[in-house]
Amino acid sequence: MNFVAFKYFHEVVKARSIRRAADRLHVAPSAISRQLVQLEHSLGAPLLERTSVGVALTPAGMLVERYTVGMFRDLDRLQASIRDYRGLQQGEVKLCIMEGIISGFLPRVITEFQVQYPQIRFTVISESSDRMIEALIRNEADIAVVYNARHRPEIDVVAEHAEPVMCLMARSHPLANCASLTLAQICAVPIALPTSDFGLRQLFERAVAGRKLSADVVLTANTLELTHKMALAGRVITIGPALCAANDIEAGLLVAVPIDEPEFAVVRSMICVHRERALSYAAAGFLKKISVEFQNIGNAQWTQICP
């Protein structure tokens, strides 16, 4: 069916005249007449009767009128909804975020965004880097903030923050006052690490294997929160960017000691999206916000230096 024909029919019915409808639509009356003839032909029934004062609906025309009234009412609602979305008056943002971002950086950014756009809703999931990238690929998330993720051709990196991987431990730990630690020193004490689908674990295992060392991994968890809590308890250490433990470091509960190995010197936290998928207005608006904020984080100095 021809949308233009339905539009012209709808306007003719409202105006009760082909000429008046033509004036409103800024087209020639003959153009409207041609579209009406084509519509009647495609439906197989006359829709209008010409009268001395304009046009009148046939029984078939009355059915089509009810259809077009509903169609254009729904179209008006659709256009209004799109205006709302474009103005960020409604919508949802689905995020996959590494845990440290959730506990520190992310709440402030979401709060500031919702103060400006209070009708936007958020769904936030914390996963390993590999699983977050898969969520983007499967369209289960709009935006992912991942740590040290492996390259995937489907994924675009929109913004990134580079910082070293640190050794995290309680202030009471025997290594807490060291200026830096070698990988051999780290492997000599109990350590808690995330599971192998985390970028951090993959980085650590490559470095350990490259030096033919063996780590004393006493706990493996699929959550960084537990590895940090184990470090807080005092017996074990863990690794991670200072950003992911910022609250505990600022509170003086954890110490971040540099790792004196090149692999750990600069590792990236990345904001990623699917390369071929258009974001909703809400997600695109939040992506702009979080990308700007993301590039400004990490200016604090977390390193514990020996006296």
Give pLDDT tens digits for 143-172.
999 877 778 899 999 988 888 999 999 999
Percent of the chain residues topping a pLDDT of 70: 94
- Average pLDDT over the chain, rounded to an integer: 87
Q: Which residues of the chain form CATH 3.40.190.10?
A: 91-161+268-294
In this structure, of 174-183, 225-234, 261-270, the range with the lowest mean pLDDT score is: 261-270
Residue with tokens 């492996």: 150
CATH 3.40.190.290 positions along the chain are 163-266
Q: Residue 298: pLDDT above 60?
A: no
Strand partners for 49: 56
DSSP letters, 40-84, are HHHHTS--EEEETTEEEE-HHHHHHHHHHHHHHHHHHHHHHHHHH
Tell me if 286 sits within 8 A of 113, measured CB to CB.
yes
Q: Outline which parts of the chain fall under CATH 1.10.10.10.
A: 3-86
pLDDT category of residue 243 using cuts at 50, 70 and 90: confident
* Residue owning tokens 């845990």: 99
Number of helical (H) and strand (E) elements in the chain, helices listed first: 12, 12
pTM: 0.65
- What is the third-level CATH fold of 91-161+268-294? D-Maltodextrin-Binding Protein; domain 2 (3.40.190)
Distance of alpha carbon 90 from alpha carbon 121, whole angstroms: 8
Which CATH number does 3-86 carry? 1.10.10.10
Per residue in 99-154, pLDDT (tens digit) is: 766 666 788 899 999 999 998 999 999 888 888 998 998 888 999 998 777 788 99
Maximum distance among all Cα pairs of the chain, rounded to whole angstroms: 102
What pLDDT score was predicted for residue 300? Answer: 40
Per-residue DSSP letter, 173? S
The CATH number of 163-266 is which of 3.60.15.10, 3.90.199.10, 3.40.50.10860, 3.40.190.290?
Answer: 3.40.190.290
Average pLDDT over residues 222-237: 92
- The mean pLDDT value for 223-238 works out to 93
